[in-house]
Amino acid sequence: MVSAPILQIALPGPLRTLFDYLPPKHHSHPLLPGSRFQVPFGRGSRTGLLIRLTARSTIPADRLKRVLEQLDPAPLLQESDIRLLRWAADYYQHPFGDVIFLALPGNLRKGRSPSVSKPVGLRLTTAGQAVNSETLLRAPKQLAVIQALAETPEGMAKSALSDGCEASPAVLRRLSDKGWIETCQIEPVVESVPPATPRHKLNPDQQSAVDETCAHLGRFKPFLLHGVTGSGKTEVYLYLIEAVLARRQQALVLVPEIGLTPQLLQRFKEQIGAGVAVLHSGLSDGERERVWQAMRRSEKKVVVGTRSAVFTPMPALGLIIVDEEHDLSYKQQEGFRYSARDLSLVRAQQCDCPVVLGSATPSLESLRNADEGRYHRLSLPRRAAGARMPQLRLLDIRSVHLDGGLSPALLKQLRQTLATGEQAMLFLNRRGYAPMITCHACGWLTDCPRCDARMTHHRQQQLLWCHHCGHQRQVPAHCPDCGSPDLRPLGQGTERIEETLQRRFPETPLARIDRDSTSRKGTLEKLLGEAKTGHYPLLLGTQILAKGHHFPLVTLVAILDVDHGLFGADFRASERMAQLVLQVAGRAGRAERPGKVLIQTRHPDHPLMQLLTTKGYTAFAKEALDERRMAVLPPYSHQVLLRAESTKASDPETFLTQAMRIGKEITGAAAVEFWGPVPAPMERKAGKTRAHLLIQSAQRQALHHWLVKWVPGITALPASRRVRWSIDVDPQEML
Ligand code: ADP
Ligand code: ZN
Ligand code: ZN
Residue 454 lies in a domain: no
**In this structure, are 521 and 408 located in the same domain?**
yes
Least confident of 255-264, 294-303, 537-546: 255-264
Alpha carbon 442 to its chain centroid, in Å, reads 43
Taking residues 387-392, report their average pLDDT. 82
So what's the pLDDT on residue 4? Answer: 67
**In this structure, are 348 and 424 located in the same domain?**
no
Ligand 3 centre to CA of 686 (Å) is 5
502-514 pLDDT, tens digit per residue, is 999 999 999 999 9
Least confident of 248-262, 664-678, 721-735: 248-262
So what's the pLDDT on residue 264? Answer: 80
Spatial distance between the Cα atoms of 350 and 356, rounded to a whole number of angstroms: 15
- Domain extent, residue 338, equals 204-386
Least confident of 243-257, 588-602, 618-632: 588-602
* Residue 163 clears pLDDT 70, i.e. is over it: no
- Counting ligand 1 atoms within 8 A of each CB, the residue from 210, 235, 579, 584 with the most, and so the one to mutate, is 235
What CATH number is given to the structural domain containing 653? 3.30.70.600
Q: Is 384 in the pocket of ligand 1 (CB under 6 A)?
A: yes
Instruction: Quote the number of domains for the chain.
Output: 5
Alpha carbon 309 to its chain centroid, in Å, reads 10
**In this structure, are 45 and 28 located in the same domain?**
yes
Residue 482 lies in a domain: no
More confident residue, 120 or 499: 499
* Residue 118 clears pLDDT 80, i.e. is over it: no
Question: Checking DSSP bridges between strand 354-359 and strand 554-559, what pairing results, if any?
Answer: unpaired
Spatial distance between the Cα atoms of 25 and 16, rounded to a whole number of angstroms: 28
Spatial distance between the Cα atoms of 372 and 378, rounded to a whole number of angstroms: 14
Rounded to the nearest integer, the mean pLDDT of the chain is 89
Q: Which atom of ligand 1 is nearest to the CA of 206?
A: 23
- Closest to 464 (Cα-Cα) out of 432, 488, 430: 432
Ligand 2 centre to CA of 447 (Å) is 13
Ligand 1 centre to CA of 385 (Å) is 6
List the residue whose alpha carbon is closest to atom 21 of ligand 1.
384
So what's the pLDDT on residue 238? Answer: 93
* Residue 330 amino acid letter: Y
Residue 196 lies in a domain: no
570-584 pLDDT, tens digit per residue, is 899 889 999 988 888
Q: Is 206 in the pocket of ligand 1 (CB under 6 A)?
A: yes
So what's the pLDDT on residue 1? Answer: 38
- Counting ligand 1 atoms within 8 A of each CB, the residue from 234, 378, 379 with the most, and so the one to mutate, is 234
| DSSP at 325 | T
Cβ(463)–Cβ(474) below 8 Å: yes
Residue 486 lies in a domain: no
Q: Is 230 in the pocket of ligand 1 (CB under 6 A)?
A: yes
Q: Is 233 in the pocket of ligand 1 (CB under 6 A)?
A: yes
- Closest to 469 (Cα-Cα) out of 490, 495, 450: 450
Question: Checking DSSP bridges between strand 724-729 and strand 688-697, what pairing results, if any?
Answer: unpaired
| 85 Cβ neighbours under 8 A, 6+ residues apart | 77, 96, 99, 100, 103, 311
So what's the pLDDT on residue 185? Answer: 67
* Residue 10 amino acid letter: A
Ligand 3 centre to CA of 448 (Å) is 5
**In this structure, are 89 and 21 located in the same domain?**
yes
Ligand 2 centre to CA of 485 (Å) is 8
360-384 pLDDT, tens digit per residue, is 999 999 999 999 999 999 999 998 8
- Closest to 528 (Cα-Cα) out of 265, 184, 228: 265
What CATH number is given to the structural domain containing 619? 3.40.50.300
The crossing angle, in degrees rounded to 10, of helices 340-351 and 79-92 is: 140
The crossing angle, in degrees rounded to 10, of helices 158-165 and 140-151 is: 130
So what's the pLDDT on residue 386? Answer: 75
Taking residues 545-559, report their average pLDDT. 83
So what's the pLDDT on residue 664? Answer: 96
Counting residues of the chain whose pLDDT is more than 70, the rounded percentage is 94
Give the CA-trace dihedral at 250, 253, 259, 260, to 10 degrees: -150
Residue 632 lies in a domain: no
**In this structure, are 175 and 234 located in the same domain?**
no
**In this structure, are 261 and 370 located in the same domain?**
yes
460-480 pLDDT, tens digit per residue, is 889 999 999 999 999 999 999
**In this structure, are 273 and 400 located in the same domain?**
no
Q: Is residue 173 very low, low, confident or very high in pLDDT (cuts 50, 70, 90)? A: confident
First to last CA, the chain: 59
Least confident of 76-80, 100-104, 126-130, 186-190: 186-190
Query: How many Cα atoms sit within 13 Å of 429 on the Cβ side?
Result: 15
Q: Is residue 117 very low, low, confident or very high in pLDDT (cuts 50, 70, 90)? A: very low
Domain boundary among 90, 109, 128: 109
So what's the pLDDT on residue 164? Answer: 62
Q: Give the number of the ligand closest to the Cα of residue 455.
A: 3
**In this structure, are 620 and 659 located in the same domain?**
no
**In this structure, are 663 and 546 located in the same domain?**
no
Residue 52 lies in a domain: yes
Spatial distance between the Cα atoms of 733 and 195, rounded to a whole number of angstroms: 43
How is the chain split among helix, strand and coil, in percent rounded to 5? 35, 25, 40
Q: Is 589 in the pocket of ligand 1 (CB under 6 A)?
A: no
List the residue whose alpha carbon is closest to atom 11 of ligand 1.
230
420-455 pLDDT, tens digit per residue, is 989 999 999 899 999 999 999 999 999 999 999 999
**In this structure, are 223 and 266 located in the same domain?**
yes
Q: Which of 82-91, 145-154, 388-397 has the highest mean pLDDT?
A: 82-91
List the residue whose alpha carbon is closest to atom 9 of ligand 1.
232
Ligand 1 centre to CA of 305 (Å) is 21
Q: Which atom of ligand 1 is nearest to the CA of 197?
A: 16
- Closest to 7 (Cα-Cα) out of 40, 41, 51: 51
**In this structure, are 165 and 301 located in the same domain?**
no
Q: Give the number of the ligand closest to the Cα of residue 483.
A: 2
So what's the pLDDT on residue 436? Answer: 94
- Counting ligand 1 atoms within 8 A of each CB, the residue from 200, 238, 261 with the most, and so the one to mutate, is 200
* Residue 329 clears pLDDT 50, i.e. is over it: yes
Q: Is 70 in the pocket of ligand 1 (CB under 6 A)?
A: no
**In this structure, are 614 and 694 located in the same domain?**
no
* Residue 351 clears pLDDT 90, i.e. is over it: yes
605-623 per-residue burial string, b: 16 or more CB within 10 A, e: under 16: ebebbbbbbeebbeebbeb
Q: Is 385 in the pocket of ligand 1 (CB under 6 A)?
A: yes
Q: What is the DSSP string of 124-162?
A: E-HHHHT--GGGGTT-HHHHHHHHHHHH-TT-EEHHHHH
* Residue 119 clears pLDDT 60, i.e. is over it: no
Q: Give the number of the ligand closest to the Cα of residue 592.
A: 1
- Closest to 457 (Cα-Cα) out of 443, 470, 446, 471: 446
Output the pTM of the full model: 0.86
Spatial distance between the Cα atoms of 572 and 648, rounded to a whole number of angstroms: 31
Domain boundary among 50, 80, 109: 109
| DSSP at 582 | H
* Residue 423 amino acid letter: Q
Q: Is 232 in the pocket of ligand 1 (CB under 6 A)?
A: yes
Taking residues 535-562, report their average pLDDT. 86
598-636 pLDDT, tens digit per residue, is 999 999 998 888 999 999 999 999 999 999 999 999 999
Spatial distance between the Cα atoms of 483 and 549, rounded to a whole number of angstroms: 48
List the residue whose alpha carbon is closest to atom 23 of ligand 1.
202
Residue 44 lies in a domain: yes
Ligand 2 centre to CA of 452 (Å) is 19
How many residues appear in the chain?
Answer: 735
List the residue whose alpha carbon is closest to atom 10 of ligand 1.
230
Q: Give the number of the ligand closest to the Cα of residue 465.
A: 3
* Residue 702 clears pLDDT 90, i.e. is over it: yes
Angle at 114 between CA 109 and CA 119, to 5 degrees: 125
Q: Is residue 595 very low, low, confident or very high in pLDDT (cuts 50, 70, 90)? A: confident
Domain boundary among 55, 86, 109: 109
Q: Is residue 260 very low, low, confident or very high in pLDDT (cuts 50, 70, 90)? A: low
* Residue 564 clears pLDDT 70, i.e. is over it: yes
Three-state secondary structure call for residue 86? helix
Residue 69 lies in a domain: yes
Three-state secondary structure call for residue 397? coil
So what's the pLDDT on residue 192? Answer: 44
Q: Respond yes or no on whether the N-terminal peptide bond of residue 635 is cis (omega within 30° of 0).
A: yes
Give the CA-trace dihedral at 23, 28, 29, 33, to 10 degrees: 0
- Closest to 24 (Cα-Cα) out of 83, 82, 64: 64
